[in-house]
Amino acid sequence: MMILNDREIVQKNLINNNEINRGYTMRVLLIDDEKLALDILTFNLNKIEGIEIIGAYSDPHAAIRDLASIQVDAIFIDMEMGEFHGIDLAESILADYSHTEVIFVTAHSQFALEAFEVNAIDYLLKPVSLERLKKAISKTQDKLDLYHAGLGTSSKRNQVLYIYTMNNFLLIDLQENEVKWRTRKVKELFVYLWHHREAPVHKIRLLEELWPEMEAPKATSLLHTTVYLLRKKLKEIGVDNSVSLLNDRYLLTVPIDSDVMEIEKFIQAKDVNPSSIKRLLELYRGDYLEENDYVWGTQFRHWLKQSVLNYFEQFIELSHAHKEPDILVEKCLEKMLRLDMYNERYMYEYIDYLGRINNIKKMKDLYSWICETIEGDLGTEIPILIIDLYKYYLNKKSDGTNTYYSS
């Protein structure tokens, strides 16, 4: 490790800076396996007003043990300490003390991206000047000010982002503006983590899904960069601590409402009624992430579509007893055919509905479309059941039956 000599320490301490004074004392803990490094950091921190050093540990085990019985606002951690790596140590500490801020102090610059992945508030390279140390303390105290005032993460999470997923993905921020993404991969990483909701995703799975054809070292580097950019983007729209990392698993910790979550609630409730049908018709503007074409979303996309179709089918079944026109029934049948345009059963049911309410003009238009679809697109014959049903209602019309309405 790089260590300041005594003359450099004296020169640094002679720098005249405005002292930080927030009206309260920030309690800090220091962890570094080299005693000299601890002494230097202690010496500099004692020059900053409003700092109380609770302990300086060269043994990470002892620091973890004592954390259970002391109150700490921030921890300064070295990066490489024998069997302990600073990233792993910070990850372990933050899992139990999530409101503690971590500041890395190290001679190694190559771990900076990984440091910010565990939500470190700063990354200091040795030798650390008093000026740079004060900036890190000021940044940390700004964060603590928000937390103690109740305006930090816990407060922001009472506000909710909104996601549109049906047909195309769209994220709406807290000011109801569309979020613009720096790269497609940053957007896809966000969607992927949100798609899995509150289930942590192992980094190996992320590499396989988002960078399937790339060599592991390069893909890992891109993952770190993409996570960093994602956190940065979410912070820009007012969301802190958005992505957590624990045991090589990433978790999106952002409160979000979405159209698909509302759809799932209808499906799970199994209470088929006109109100829920009307809302489903509004929400289901297209298949889940259809235009984004994320391969990893295919299975859920198919499941969701089939679940919604089943929901519509239940409503149609309940409505068979009604002979009068029902605009919701018709909209359901139209939607069902748009979602599954080669489904012969849906074609039959739509013709049957139009025939029963005596809307012959629209039935003829539908039959023409069926002919084009089945004979033109598929090159097959129209099912005899559909032909017979169509002819049946045409014959009823020729008998002089009155229509309820025409389109």
- Same domain membership, residue 394 and residue 272: yes
Question: Is residue 165, in this structure, part of any structural domain at all?
Answer: no
- What's the DSSP call for residue 328? H
- Same domain membership, residue 353 and residue 388: yes
Cβ atoms of 220 and 207 closer than 8 Å: yes
SS3 content of the chain, % helix, strand, coil (to 5): 55, 15, 35
Domain CATH for 19:
3.40.50.2300
Quick one: average pLDDT of 40-46? Answer: 95
Given a cut of 80, is residue 150 above it in pLDDT? no
Quick one: pLDDT band at residue 345, thresholds 50, 70, 90? very high
pLDDT at position 5 is 38
- Same domain membership, residue 267 and residue 144: no
Given a cut of 50, is residue 38 above it in pLDDT? yes
pLDDT at position 241 is 85
Stretch (H or E) spanning 41: helix 35-45
CA distances from 18 to 15, 76, 135, 248 (A): 10, 22, 11, 41
272-308 residue pLDDT tens: 889 999 999 999 989 999 989 899 999 999 999 999 9
pLDDT at position 13 is 38
- Same domain membership, residue 371 and residue 283: yes
Question: Is residue 390, in this structure, part of any structural domain at all?
Answer: yes
Question: Is residue 312, in this structure, part of any structural domain at all?
Answer: yes
Which tokens sit at 199?
A: 């289930």
- Same domain membership, residue 217 and residue 86: no
- Same domain membership, residue 331 and residue 264: yes
Question: Is residue 167, in this structure, part of any structural domain at all?
Answer: no
- Same domain membership, residue 202 and residue 101: no
Nearest-angstrom CA–CA distance, 180 and 173: 10
Q: Which contacts (CB < 8 Å, 24+ apart) does range 379-384 have?
A: 383/344, 383/348
Contacts of 379 (CB under 8 A, 6+ apart): none
Domain interval for residue 330:
259-398
Cβ atoms of 235 and 247 closer than 8 Å: no
User: Is 13 in a helix, a strand, or coil?
Assistant: helix
Q: Which segment of 11-20, 157-166, 240-249, 388-397 scores lowest on mean pLDDT?
A: 11-20
Residue 393 dihedral angles phi and psi, to the nearest 5°:
-75, -30
- Same domain membership, residue 76 and residue 121: yes
Domain CATH for 192:
1.10.10.10
381-394 residue pLDDT tens: 999 999 999 999 99
Output 216 or 293, whichever has higher pLDDT: 216
Question: Is residue 385, in this structure, part of any structural domain at all?
Answer: yes
pLDDT at position 263 is 95
190-205 residue pLDDT tens: 999 999 987 899 999 9
158-171 residue pLDDT tens: 468 999 999 889 99
pLDDT at position 325 is 61
Cβ atoms of 36 and 5 closer than 8 Å: no
- Same domain membership, residue 98 and residue 10: yes
86-105 residue pLDDT tens: 888 988 888 777 778 999 99
Given a cut of 80, is residue 115 above it in pLDDT? no
Cβ atoms of 247 and 223 closer than 8 Å: no
Domain CATH for 342:
1.25.40
Nearest-angstrom CA–CA distance, 298 and 301: 5
- Same domain membership, residue 374 and residue 301: yes
Quick one: pLDDT band at residue 405, thresholds 50, 70, 90? very low
Tell me if the bond preceding 127 is cis, omega within 30° of 0.
yes
The last residue of one of the domains, among 239, 254, 269, is: 254
Residue carrying the six token digits 């032909």: 387
Q: Quick one: what percent of the chain has pLDDT higher than 70? A: 87
pLDDT at position 23 is 56
308-326 residue pLDDT tens: 999 999 999 888 766 556 8
User: What is the number of domains present in the chain?
Assistant: 3
Closest CA to 135 of 122, 154, 151, 147: 122
Quick one: average pLDDT of 132-141? Answer: 91
Q: What does DSSP say about strands 170-172 and 161-164: parallel, antiparallel, or unpaired?
A: antiparallel
Longest dimension (CA), the chain: 110
